[in-house]
Amino acid sequence: MPLPLIPLIVAGAAAASAAVAGKKGYDSYQNMQETKELAQSLESKYKKAYRNFEAGRDETNEAFEKYGILKLDILDGSMKDFVDTFKQIKNVNFKGEAVTDNFVSSSDINEFVLNIEKQVLKAGQVMTAGVASLAGGGLAAMGAVGATTTFAAASTGTAIASLSGIAAQNATLAFLGGGALSAGGLGIAGGTLVLGGIALAPALAIGSLIFASSTEKKLEEMYAKKAEVNAEVEKLYSAANVMAQIKTTTRNMHSLADSTNKLFLGNIEKMKAVIQQSGKDFSFYSTEAQTIIHNNYKLAIIMRDILNTTILDEKGKLMPNLQSVITAEKRKISAIKGY
């Protein structure tokens, strides 16, 4: 009789339905878990890249600021000492010496000293006010841009404003300085920033993107977002690499300026000794004494050229051929050391 089989069929169908429902529930649970894990993985990956990027930004800004302090110290120290000492000597004439094309000719000596003296005065004003007065990335601007440029349009009374103004106009310097709009920066969360041609999305936008997808619990959407997040991570690492190059170059320039300054200070003491022993008339100096004065003049020119070397152009990009500049200056210094 067929009737007794109906409950069995119904029971079987119910069991099958339960199995299907259980399978769907399990699949849904698995999808939720995979979505959650993927979201966490992407968030962790992005945060790691962003921390690396932020660390690079801070280190690069610090390198500029340290170099800026060194530049001001040199202008207010050895360069000032050179000007004060060199100006005491009368009838300076290097015609009897081999003056190469790498150095200013004898006829330009007075103009050279005058130009250096102007920078010394402006640097002295900044140092008197204190480096803390350089808000808005001004100290970083001193490190990133040549001394001639930073002080070019500034009277002695506006040297500080000039430095801060340069920082505000330079996208990279403004961002390195913290990014705050109140400090003259571009604002991190307010939009995008171009650093070396790389557009950076705000960190908050990526974070909300990940969390929004995880709450939707749609695995396919999360995989779609994965490519987007990975693209932003690549931008962050690329930007970090750009900053690493800027930081390394800045540190190399800092090292060159520091080593040159030490040599310069020693030679200035020799020049003072010449004045003390032989007076202030260059024409009566011995050949050895004249050479000491000439070497001081050469070192002052080398130092000026180093301090005037710009690391970032007006668009905030690393200047080309800086390593060649460093190599050339080292060659000139070696020639003086080898005398």
| Residue with more model confidence, 25 or 150 | 150
Q: Hunting for tokens 């070019």 — which residue is that? A: 152
* Of the candidates 146, 166, 173, the residue with the CA atom closest to the CA atom of residue 306: 146
What would the pLDDT profile of 108-135 be if each residue is shown by its tens digit?
A: 888 889 889 988 988 888 888 776 666 6
In the chain, where the domains are located: 40-337
pLDDT, tens digit (0-9, with 9 covering 90-100), for 171-229: 788 777 754 444 444 444 333 455 655 655 555 555 555 555 545 456 777 777 888 88
In the chain the first and final C-alpha atoms are separated, in Å, by: 122
Sign of CA dihedral 312, 317, 321, 326: positive
Alpha helices in 77-202 (DSSP H): 78-86, 109-129, 138-144, 147-151, 159-169, 171-176
Per DSSP, the chain holds a count of helices (H) and strands (E) of 11, 2
Q: Global pTM?
A: 0.79
Tell me what pLDDT residue 160 has: 67
